[in-house]
Amino acid sequence: MPPFKLREKDNYVRSRQRMVETQLIPRGIKDKRVIEAMLAAPRHLFVSEEALWSQAYSDFPLPIGEKQTISQPYIVALMTESLELKGMEKVLEIGTGSGYQTAILSMLAEKVYSIERISTLAARARRILDSVNCSNVVIKIADGTLGWPEEAPFDAILTTAAAPEIPKCYIEQLAVGGRLVIPVGDEYSQILTKIIKTKDGIIRQDMGGCRFVKLIGRYGWKADFNNNGG
Ligand code: SAM
C-alpha cells in the first residue's frame, strides 16, 4: 500500500478516525486493509469546493459538479470490501467521478483502470490523484457501459453508477473467480448487487438497497439533456 503524499498539512486525520469509528465499523466494515485505506485517503481533496471540505467526512454524498456526487463514505467502504481485494488485482472502475473511490482502490490493488464519461470530472480526478501520488491508475474518457475489453480480464469490476440491468460485457470481462459490484434498478432506487464469476457460472448476491446517479451509455440509461445523472 503506497502512502498518499500530501503537499499541505493534513488537518483531517481526526475527522477520518471519527468517520471510521462512527460510520464504518458500527455498520459492519471489517476488512483491515479497507479500514486503513479509508483512514489514509484525503477525501476532502476530492470534494469539489474547499467550502465543502469540513463536510467531506460526514455520512452523506456531496456534489462534485456536473450534477454528479462523491458517494457516502460507508458506501465506498462497503463496495470496496465486497470486492475482496488482496493487493495483486487488476481492477476496473466505471464512474471515476471525483477520483476518491479510485484512490481507495489504488491502495488496495495492483492496478486500477477507471472510466469516466464526463471529461471535466476525469481531468480533475487525474490532477488530484497525481497530486497525492496515485501512480497505478489509468483513466479514460469513454462510455463505461462497454467496459474496457482491451485490458480484460479483470479480477474485480466496480460500477459507481446505477444500471437498469447488468451490461453483459462486465461478466465477459471478469476473470474466473472475479467479483463485480454494481447498483441495479430504476432511477430512484437500486439493489447493490454482487456477482461472483465461477467456472460453472455466476453467483448473484443482493447486498441491500441504495441510490446512485444513473449509468448513462449504450448499455445503461439514455442521456437526458436536463439531467446528467440521477
Ligand atoms: N466513485 C465516484 C467518487 O468517488 O467520486 C462517484 C461516482 S458518481 C456517483 C458516478 C459517476 O459515474 C459520475 O461521475 C458519472 O459521470 C459516471 N458515469 C455515468 N455513466 C457513465 C458511463 N457510461 N461511463 C463512465 N462513467 C459514467
Q: Domain with 165 in it: what CATH number? A: 3.40.50.150
Residue 19 in any domain: the answer is no
Amino acid (1-letter code) at residue 117: R
| More confident of the two residues 101 and 223 | 101
Number of independent structural domains in the chain: 1
Between CA 80 and CA 99 the distance in angstroms is 14
Q: Is the Cβ–Cβ distance between 135 and 113 less than 8 Å? A: no
8 A C-beta contact, residue 102 and residue 79: no
Among candidates 210, 167, 173, which has minimal Cα distance to 79? 210
Residue nearest to ligand 1 atom 18, measured at CA: 95
**CA distance linking residue 135 with residue 140, whole number of Å:** 15
Distance from C-alpha of 149 to C-alpha of 67, rounded to nearest angstrom: 28
CB of 100 closer than 6 A to ligand 1? yes
Check 71, 82, 98, 106 and give the catalytic one: 71
Any domain includes 8: no
Residue ID of nearest Cα to ligand 1 atom 14 = 97
Q: Which domain covers residue 98, as residue numbers?
A: 74-210
Q: For the segment 161-212, what is each residue's pLDDT rounded down to a tens digit?
A: 999 999 999 999 999 999 999 999 999 999 999 999 999 999 999 999 999 9
Does position 230 have pLDDT exceeding 50, yes or no?
no
What gap in Å lies between CA 156 and CA 92, rounded to an integer? 6
CA nearest to 164, candidates 94, 221, 203: 221
Report the alpha-carbon angle 224-49-41, nearest 5: 100
In a domain, residue 47? The reply is: no
pLDDT at 229 (0 to 100): 43
Residue 218 CA from chain centroid, whole number: 20
> 92 lies in a domain?
yes
Residue 71 annotated among the catalytic residues of the structure: yes
Please provide the size of the chain in residues. 230
Sequence-distant (≥ 6) Cβ neighbours of residue 63 within 8 angstroms: 48, 52, 69
**What confidence score (pLDDT) does residue 224 get?**
74
C-alpha cell at 66: 456536473
Q: Which residue has the least CA distance to atom 27 on ligand 1?
A: 95
Q: Does 49 reside within a domain?
A: no
Q: Report if residue 192 sits inside a domain.
A: yes
Rounded distance from Cα 216 to ligand 1 centre (Å): 9
Tell me if 196 is assigned to some domain.
Answer: yes
- 160 CA distance to ligand 1 centroid (A)? 6
> What ligand 1 atom has the least distance to the C-alpha of 213?
9
Is 162 contained in some domain? yes
pLDDT band at 1 (very low <50, low <70, confident <90, very high): low
Work out which ligand 1 atom sits closest to the CA atom of 101: 4
Radius of gyration of the chain from its Cα atoms, rounded to whole angstroms: 16
**For residue 64, what pLDDT is reported?**
94
Q: How far apart are alpha carbons 70 and 172 in whole angstroms?
A: 28
